Amino acid sequence: MRAKRVSLFRRGAGEAIAATIAFAVLSLAIAYIILGAVPRLSIAPSTASGAVLGGVEQLVVIQREMEVGSNRTIVIEVLNAGSAPVRIDAVLVTVGGTPLLVRLGSKSICNSTQPGVLVPRSSTIIICSRADYKPVGIVTQGGKVFVVNPRIEALFEKPTGIPMKTLYGGVTVTSTSSLLRLLYNKTIVYSGAINTTIPMKLLLNKSSEYVNAQLSASLVVVGLNPVNGKLNILIIGNATSGNSITVGNDAVDLSRAGALRYRLKIENFTGVIQIGSSPAGPGIYPCLINTGKSCRVTISSSEPADIIRLYTNTTTLTPQAVGLDPYIFVGDIDGDGNTETIFVTQDFTTGNSGSVNDVNKRFNRVALDSSLKPVRLILSTVNGSQYSAAVLSIRFFYWDNSIDDISDNDNRVIVRAGLLDTATGEVRYSVALSYYELCRYRHPPFSISYVTKDFMIYIPSENKEFQVFIELADPYSNTGNRNDADILIGLSYIGMSLVSR
Amino acid sequence: MSRLLRKGVSTLILAFLIAIAVLSVFTYLVLSMARATQIAVTGLRSVVEYSYKASPYSLALNETGRGREIVNLGGSDLVIDRIVVKSGDWLEVLTPQEVGCSGNVIKAGSSITCTPPPTCRAPCEFIAVINKEGVVVNIYKPLIRARTLNVTTMFLIAITFDMISPQDLVQEFNVSPSLVAKPYPNTPSIVGMESGDKLLLLPRGQESEFYNAPVYTDPGNPLPFGVAVVGYDPSWVKENRSGIKIPPRFSLLIAGPKSPGTGFNAGNKRISLAENGWRVLINNFTGYVKIWRGSQVIACSSTRPQDCSGVSLPAVGFWYYGVDQGLNLKIEFNGVASYVANFMRMSSSQSPTRETSYYPYLYIGDVDGNGINDLIFITEDVYYGSYDKIDDMWPNEPGKPNDYSDYSTQPLELKLMQIGRALGNQDGSIDGSMYSGVLLYMNILFHDNSYPDVNQLRDIDRTDWVLRVVLLDDKGYEYIVREYRYQEICNYHKSYVTDFGRDNYFVKLSQTVYIPIPGPGRYWVAVVFQDPYQSGKTNDADLTVGVELIGVTPFYR
């Protein structure tokens, strides 16, 4: 009966122990599960605090160009504009368009000038040592990405200069033929341009021929064609005995044909031109004006010249209209690579208010040339809805054959520039140079002195096209001994700056 | 049985106690973990909520001078509660009203402008905006990056004389009102001009404003004159420019010596020109204007083209010395006008200051028909002369010839306010810390009555200026940049012309003047006129000086 009691007790204790053990196992299992879950739960807070961190991180990223060593590279400047310190972990770069993430570090391709923590209001510059790596953004330790933000930058554009378009200059034109395309009225080259007291006819008009001549000249203009290095020549004078010219197979006894006056134009000449006793280069040779005597000019081609035109006097005694061709010359007369366009009505002598200025003394015939139509060049077009004003810069030289200027000649307009209504041809705005101003830019006897003037041109506020023009005119034929000036005017450069509306 | 029970109970109690102990421990652990998580989750939520509230707002700052423009680049309207401002070295939190803002709501995509009062000390930087919900929104101040650029056009400020009357010069060019006031007799403050003999004043009753009243010279009796300026009326120039194609109207300024028996008609009044020399201004004239030379019409301009058939030379322009026997010019006009002023030569005792103003001597209109008004200052009245006589005096005047010499007591200064206004300053000044200089293009004209021209430097041998370009600073100093003296500018004109149509008194002169600006500060550019030559045999010329167009290009430092 004791054994029974003992086993009963033993059974009770055993049950207690079993229960305890079971509980313990169960508890451990639960504990393990719970503890296992804890790390996951604690990720949330750390993520949350990371989110908190990312939430207040505010960085501004700006792309700059900097001198690094001897090269200019693209770098980014990172400014901490927020209120929390930030650590930059990586740089986002583009390599030929493809994005790449580069970790920052001392041994990395990309480095920060302020490694470590970026405190609020401070900045750092991230430079990548490879030139093809263009940094565009950064990634913070908080996991937030900041890239170059175009809205944060305002470009302050500072123009480096005033743009001036060359309307005439350099090699815009190289010969009279190329000047044609700028002429407003192209028919005036052949007729109706100049009223002259000694009319001329085109005696010879040849192309690609050898030309040789011996001439007595009063005024010679020699200019370079900068494109091909050949010469353009204009020889003005009245022929004396022994003067002759041979073009190809045609020989002309100039002493008969051009005794009153002649003008010889040669374009693209290769060979020797001798004025006096020495070979002549580019320039203006005012033989009769400066020395009182004509020069002896000798021409011999070594290659065919492109164009040879010889104008000689007709027998008409009354004034007649002729074309512009013999009065216009294109060439670089001072060897600076810039061709001048010269309009010359001067032939022989100078004069004053007591005499007619330009006279062939040998035959006592006045050689007065004046414009029937101005030499008008169209340089450009502008639209009145786009531009409100223009500034024209003109470089030119002027000479006339009057010794006593304002006593001899009235104050007529010689140069005019401005705007034409393309549709109607009406002059809408113009500035002008009149005789009283121009005659002060020249010094007797003859020399070239350049003048540069700027003109402000007002563009009417109309949605239409205007042509920018310049025109030259010799407005003096004569009234007795007055208003008889002949001129020589050379255009060297015309530039235009536009002002947008 | 009870012993069994006792043993079971003890086991139960033991188990219960152990259970409680274990459960307590684990409950505590779980709860504390849950609490920690909850705190973290709550914190995250409030951060997320805050970020959500803050993210629609994106503000950028645009500073111009004293103004601060806050631009809302975000997607939601922002209601400002406070603005965080750095005033001097202190951060201040101010209401929008305290900062001078135009409102307290910045709509999405729009902006407000704040002009902080001087109490906000420099740099007066706007740091952040706090909205009604307590969200702090930082204001991004754009970092200015200079980039050089190849541009296709230049920047030029064009200044034209787009006005109707000389009195408009006060508003446009900051001219002192007393210099351009209408010179009624006994007006206490008019100054600027004096004369060799009698002053040009505008007696009451000699000025009429009409609504299209007939204004005409006596039929068959064109009016002899000394000097006439005929141009397109400035109000018509303005209308014409806006594209409305209406027939032209004219403005006339005519001066002459005493002409007994002559006159013209305005409204229902007869304007007699028999007194001591006259000067008449007719504005907004619709009709025809003809210039007679002897018995022929040599020039004509009209509202109706058919009135001028057969005459190709326009009357628009300048006509000098009509009374000269070699010229014998007369003017005929017939039409309607809206304003006629008949200035009369009166004793200087009629003016308290003994001076008159520039008003009678200024003409505004388009004198060459190119669509832009010209501002003309003309003191010439009647005739010409050389070093042996008073220039503006007509020897053949009936009775004793009068001295019509007029001259300045003070120069007429036109401040080019348009430059500073175009560059952003309401007071018209140029900021010397930003700009190192300006380039001025001017189209001007000049004429005088010293004739023959070959002797003009003998007649006018005292060197003095007629036109100046000056730079003014905010301390009252004036720097003379370019001075056009008579002896330089007189070369470009021709005093006396007979070959009308081919010969020219003058053409517009184009001048370029570079004006360097010394340094930081406020500066104004001014164009100044005067007639410095008074009366006598020499140094007595009367002048015509005009400006058509001024172009200004500023240069950055």
Q: For residues A486 and A346, what is the distance between their CA atoms, to the nearest angstrom? A: 5
Q: Which of A295-304, B7-16, B339-348 has the lowest mean pLDDT?
A: B7-16
Confidence of residue B488 (pLDDT cuts 50, 70, 90): very high
- A residues 370-429 lying closer than 8 A (beta carbon) to B: 387-389, 391, 406-407, 410-413, 428-429
Q: CB burial class (10 A; 0-12, 13-18, 19+) of residue A125?
A: middle
Nearest-CA neighbor of A378 among A280, A312, A466?
A466
pLDDT over threshold 80, residue B444: yes
pLDDT over threshold 50, residue A385: yes
- B residues 333-392 lying closer than 8 A (beta carbon) to A: 370-372
pLDDT computed for residue B431 by the predictor: 92
Query: What is the arithmetic mean of pLDDT over A216-221?
Result: 96
- Smallest Cβ–Cβ distance between A156 and the set B26, B73, B145 belongs to B145
pLDDT over threshold 70, residue A307: yes
User: ipTM score here?
Assistant: 0.73
Q: For residues A423 and B75, what is the distance between their CA atoms, to the nearest angstrom? A: 51
pLDDT over threshold 50, residue B277: yes
Q: For residues B374 and B380, what is the distance between their CA atoms, to the nearest angstrom? A: 17
What are the residue ranges of helices labelled H in A90-236? 176-179
pLDDT computed for residue A160 by the predictor: 65
Our CA-based measurement puts residue A157 at a distance from the nearest CA of chain B, in whole angstroms, of 5
Query: What is the arithmetic mean of pLDDT over A394-419?
Result: 94
- B residues 450-489 lying closer than 8 A (beta carbon) to A: 453-454
* Residue A12 DSSP code: H
pLDDT tens digits, A151-163? 555 555 566 678 8
Q: For residues A243 and B161, what is the distance between their CA atoms, to the nearest angstrom? A: 62
pLDDT over threshold 60, residue B37: yes
* Residue B125 DSSP code: E
pLDDT over threshold 90, residue A313: yes
pLDDT over threshold 90, residue B124: no
Q: The tokens 């650590």 sit on which residue?
A: A87
E strand map for A337-459: 340-344, 359-360, 365-366, 369-371, 375-383, 387-400, 413-421, 427-434, 450-458
Q: For residues A187 and A324, what is the distance between their CA atoms, to the nearest angstrom? A: 9
Query: What is the arithmetic mean of pLDDT over A218-230?
Result: 95
Query: What residues in B contact A9, CB-CB < 8 Å?
Result: 7
Query: What is the arithmetic mean of pLDDT over B156-165?
Result: 93
B524 touches chain A (CB under 8 A): no
pLDDT computed for residue A129 by the predictor: 86
pLDDT computed for residue A46 by the predictor: 45
pLDDT computed for residue A48 by the predictor: 44
Confidence of residue A47 (pLDDT cuts 50, 70, 90): very low
pLDDT over threshold 60, residue A12: yes
- Smallest Cβ–Cβ distance between B145 and the set A23, A27, A153 belongs to A153
**Searching chain A, which residue's CA lies closest to the CA of residue B453?**
A406
Q: For residues A205 and B411, what is the distance between their CA atoms, to the nearest angstrom? A: 64
Bond before A282 cis per omega within 30 degrees: no
Query: What is the arithmetic mean of pLDDT over A205-224?
Result: 96
Question: Are the beta carbons of B515 and B420 closer than 8 angstroms?
Answer: no
Q: For residues A349 and A289, what is the distance between their CA atoms, to the nearest angstrom? A: 6
A49 touches chain B (CB under 8 A): yes
Nearest-CA neighbor of A78 among A29, A32, A127, A30?
A127
pLDDT over threshold 50, residue A43: no
Question: Are the beta carbons of B459 and B391 closer than 8 angstroms?
Answer: yes
Q: For residues A421 and A402, what is the distance between their CA atoms, to the nearest angstrom? A: 35
Q: Which of A64-78, B83-97, B115-129 has the lowest mean pLDDT?
A: A64-78
**Searching chain B, which residue's CA lies closest to the CA of residue A27?**
B22
Our CA-based measurement puts residue B431 at a distance from the nearest CA of chain A, in whole angstroms, of 17
pLDDT tens digits, B61-78? 877 667 788 888 777 788
Q: How far from each other are the two terminal CA atoms of chain A, in whole angstroms?
A: 125
Q: For residues B501 and B482, what is the distance between their CA atoms, to the nearest angstrom? A: 33
Residue B477 contacts by C-beta under 8 Å, 6 or more apart in sequence?
none
Question: Are the beta carbons of B525 and B552 closer than 8 angstroms?
Answer: yes
Confidence of residue B515 (pLDDT cuts 50, 70, 90): very high
The distance between the two most distant Cα atoms of chain B, rounded to a whole number of Å, is 167
Q: Which residue has the higher pLDDT, A501 or B162?
A: B162
Q: How many CB atoms lie within 10 A of CB A187?
A: 12
pLDDT computed for residue B386 by the predictor: 95
Average pLDDT, chain A: 87
How many Cα atoms occupy the beta-carbon half-sphere of B530 within 13 Å?
A: 21
**Searching chain A, which residue's CA lies closest to the CA of residue B443?**
A456
pLDDT over threshold 60, residue A44: no
A50 touches chain B (CB under 8 A): no
Question: Are the beta carbons of A378 and A467 closer than 8 angstroms?
Answer: yes
Q: For residues B400 and B405, what is the distance between their CA atoms, to the nearest angstrom? A: 15
Query: What is the arithmetic mean of pLDDT over B24-30?
Result: 80
pLDDT computed for residue A51 by the predictor: 47
- Smallest Cβ–Cβ distance between B147 and the set A13, A157, A437 belongs to A157
Q: For residues B131 and A315, what is the distance between their CA atoms, to the nearest angstrom? A: 99
pLDDT computed for residue A445 by the predictor: 83
Q: How many CB atoms lie within 10 A of CB B466?
A: 26
Q: Which residue has the higher pLDDT, B479 or A85?
A: B479
- DSSP for A292-320 reads SSPEEEEEEEEE-EEEEEEEEE-S--S-E
- A residues 155-174 lying closer than 8 A (beta carbon) to B: 155-160, 162-163
pTM of the model: 0.74
Average pLDDT, chain B: 89
Question: Are the beta carbons of B346 and B185 closer than 8 angstroms?
Answer: yes
pLDDT computed for residue B220 by the predictor: 92
Bridge partners of B415, per DSSP, are: B526
- B residues 63-102 lying closer than 8 A (beta carbon) to A: 73
pLDDT over threshold 80, residue A38: no
- Which range is most confident: A32-36, A190-194, A403-407? A190-194
Strands B143-149 and A153-159: parallel
- A residues 63-92 lying closer than 8 A (beta carbon) to B: 64, 81-82
pLDDT computed for residue A153 by the predictor: 52
Give the type of residue at A223: G
pLDDT over threshold 90, residue A497: yes
pLDDT computed for residue A161 by the predictor: 73
Q: For residues A202 and A310, what is the distance between their CA atoms, to the nearest angstrom? A: 6
pLDDT computed for residue B84 by the predictor: 85
Residue B25's φ and ψ, nearest 5 degrees, are -60, -50
pLDDT computed for residue A367 by the predictor: 94
Bond before B123 cis per omega within 30 degrees: yes
pLDDT computed for residue A73 by the predictor: 80
Cα–Cα distances in angstroms (integers) from residue A98 to residues A72, A101, A110, B93, in the given order? 21, 10, 16, 45
pLDDT computed for residue B102 by the predictor: 86
E strand map for B221-262: 223-224, 227-232, 250-256
- Smallest Cβ–Cβ distance between B507 and the set A23, A60, A413 belongs to A413
Query: What is the arithmetic mean of pLDDT over A442-454?
Result: 86
Residue B556 contacts by C-beta under 8 Å, 6 or more apart in sequence?
A158, B434, B435, B436
Q: How many CB atoms lie within 10 A of CB B454?
A: 12
Q: How many residues does chain B have?
A: 557
Nearest-CA neighbor of A90 among A48, A147, A28?
A147
B379: left (phi over 0), alpha (psi -120 to 50) or beta: alpha
pLDDT computed for residue A6 by the predictor: 52
The tokens for A374 are 């101005």
B502 touches chain A (CB under 8 A): yes
Confidence of residue B121 (pLDDT cuts 50, 70, 90): confident
Q: For residues B113 and B72, what is the distance between their CA atoms, to the nearest angstrom? A: 11
pLDDT computed for residue B34 by the predictor: 74
pLDDT tens digits, A251-306? 999 999 999 999 999 999 999 999 998 999 999 999 999 999 999 999 999 999 99
pLDDT tens digits, A97-145? 688 888 888 788 888 888 888 888 788 889 888 888 888 888 988 788 8
Give the type of residue at A454: D
Query: What is the arithmetic mean of pLDDT over B402-428?
Result: 94
Q: Where are the domains of chain A?
A: 59-152
pLDDT computed for residue A50 by the predictor: 45
Query: What is the arithmetic mean of pLDDT over B409-433?
Result: 93
Helix axes B2-54, A2-56, angle to 10 degrees: 10
User: What is the CA angle B435-B440-B444, rounded to 5?
Assistant: 165
Confidence of residue B359 (pLDDT cuts 50, 70, 90): very high
pLDDT over threshold 70, residue B342: yes
The tokens for A192 are 């109706």
Bond before B452 cis per omega within 30 degrees: yes
